[in-house]
Amino acid sequence: MENTDTQQDKPSPNSDFKEYLLSEYANIAQAHFKTIETISTFFRNYLVIVSIPVSVIAVLAGVFAGPEILRTLLAMKTPLALVFLVVSLVGLGVLLHIASLRMDAVLYARTINGIRKYFYDKAVLDFNTKLRTRVLPQSPSMPAYHEKAYFWPVVWSFAGFDSLYLVFSIIAFFLPTELTQTSNVLTGIPTSWVWLLPLVFFTGHFGLYFGYACYRERAYLRSNIIGVDIDGVLTQHRQHFCEILNKNRGKSIAPDAITAIPVRECEGLKVSKDDEDAVFNDPNYWIEMPVEQGAAYNLERIRNVFKLEVFIFTYRPWPSIGKPDQNEQIAMKWVQALQTYTRKVSNRSPSGNLKRKPMDTITRLWLEEQGIRYDKLFIEKGSEEIQDPRGHVLNRFVKSREYRIKYFVEDDAEKAAKLAYICDVVFLLQQPYNEGVTGLPSNVFPVKSWDEIYVSLRRLV
């Protein structure tokens, strides 16, 4: 009985999650109201900044009388022009900062709405009761980042003051240095500058606010990008490895027996590193690599239907440096294979392709031959395992952070687990070497085919 009671008293994962949401709700609600207070503080400080030049001029007018005040201002025209220009630019900067704070407040409100929806969905109440008791929204897509009714008046205020100070700056800059009885101080001021530049500056306030709101809505935190590995995801590399291994080394193994990567770590297969090098240093292994069924077709559908950008990643440090007497032989074999492959795929001279590393060019040609279209291709450099950006390497982890990649398709369970802390969703294409892996993050989804990836994306996008 004691053991039973202990098990019943033990909090369930769901109860822990509810407690977390309640704590998150309280913290974010508090942050939301603090952000609003910060916006008010910045606006008051901006009004102080705007009033300073006018106050200084008013003091000068009280000290000097008649033409003397005008002579004093003309003598100070360059500093005044710079002060007015600085005030107008500072005003634009303060507006952008306030807009950023307001959009943070919108983000917090959206988060609170999502938490509210979770608890309303869990509540054992009929829908009519829920509808009557709920006043605030429960959609994570509300409110909008671009708020015409709420924030445009703020933009109008900043745009008006900033443009007015820009007018003052232009006028002050073109004023004469001395005042004579026959001269008109406004004669040398170009009218087009006084009206055109401030008008562009005024509308620019709204353009920058709108552009920043669009960025927050579409690209902030996560972009519309899917990252894709090549080997084991776009290729049937296990079968091809076994064929080339048998051809080059006379060793016969079954593709399903490859239960670890690299293959030399598979117990019982007796595949050495020299055996692997004999496969990977053969350019035909990469050139004749069979494409995974449905990969090209589904990737094209993903680009066209879901409007996702496709970023392709691969780590291929080949050909590797072997024994000194083999290096020249290997290099010549790759150059000859590259020349033949370039003529076959693109029907053009290979001379331009020789500037790149042979593997880089072969990879691009293979993707072209298979009809796999993409937006960016990253040939990873340095270590493919380092996740920490301080490692200064070019790999999928660093680039996923840099581009905020939302989805990723991977076949390596360890890399999928690391990517799960960077991307929203990671699809793990099942292979014998990643079967039975446990402890993966909840946003890693094992899939059996590219058709399944497409169906899953259709539910997520």
Three-class SS of 291-336: ECCCHHHHHHHHHHHCCCEEEEEECCCCCCCCCHHHHHHHHHHHHH
Which tens digit of pLDDT belongs to each residue from 163-192? 999 988 888 877 766 655 445 555 556 677
Cα angle for residues 349, 351, 355 (degrees, 5° grid): 140
Say whether pLDDT at 232 is over 80.
Answer: yes
Question: Domain limits at 102?
Answer: 11-221
Same domain, residue pair 204 and 231? no
pLDDT grade, residue 60 (50/70/90)?
low
Are 408 and 427 spatial neighbours (Cβ–Cβ below 8 Å)?
Answer: yes
Same domain, residue pair 394 and 255? yes
Residue 326 tokens read as 């083999």
We report the CATH number of the domain holding residue 368 as 3.40.50.1000
Q: What is the pLDDT of residue 6?
A: 47
Same domain, residue pair 150 and 277? no
Residue 152 placed within a domain: yes
DSSP state, 11? P
Q: What is the pLDDT of residue 19?
A: 85
Are 404 and 225 spatial neighbours (Cβ–Cβ below 8 Å)?
Answer: yes
Per DSSP, the residues of 106-151 read HHHHHHHHHHHHHHHHHS-S-HHHHHHH--S---TT-S-SS-HHHH
Among candidates 206, 210, 212, 211, which has minimal Cα distance to 159?
206
Across 223-294, where does the E strand assignment appear? 225-229
Report the sign of the C-alpha dihedral through residues 141, 143, 146, 149, in that order.
positive
Between 391 and 243, the more confident residue is 243
pLDDT grade, residue 391 (50/70/90)?
low
Could you say which of 202, 221, 240 is where a domain stops?
221
Q: How far apart are CA 415 and CA 431, in angstroms?
A: 14
Tell me whether the omega of the peptide bond preceding residue 389 falls within 30 degrees of 0, making it cis: no
Q: Mean of the per-residue pLDDT values for the chain?
A: 85
Q: Indicate the helix (H) or strand (E) that contains 456.
A: helix 450-460
Which tens digit of pLDDT belongs to each residue from 244-295? 999 999 999 999 999 999 999 998 899 999 999 999 999 999 999 999 999 9
Residue 451 tokens read as 């058709």
Q: Which residues contact 134 (CB under 8 A, 6 or more apart)?
A: 116, 120
Say whether pLDDT at 132 is over 90.
Answer: no
Could you say which of 188, 221, 254 is where a domain stops?
221
Mean pLDDT of 119-133: 82
Indicate the residue type of 124: V
Same domain, residue pair 48 and 135? yes
Could you say which of 221, 237, 264 is where a domain stops?
221
Same domain, residue pair 133 and 157? yes
Q: Left, alpha or beta for 386 (phi > 0: left; psi -120 to 50: alpha)?
A: beta
Residue 452 placed within a domain: yes
User: What is the separation of C-alpha 87 from the centre of its chain, rounded to a whole number of angstroms?
Assistant: 33
Same domain, residue pair 200 and 248? no
Same domain, residue pair 241 and 215? no
Q: What is the pLDDT of residue 325?
A: 60
Q: What is the pLDDT of residue 182?
A: 45
Q: Whole-model pTM?
A: 0.78
Strand partners, 408: 227, 426
Residue 2 placed within a domain: no
Total count of domains within the chain: 2
Are 145 and 103 spatial neighbours (Cβ–Cβ below 8 Å)?
Answer: yes
SS3 277: helix
Q: How far apart are CA 201 and CA 197, in angstroms?
A: 6
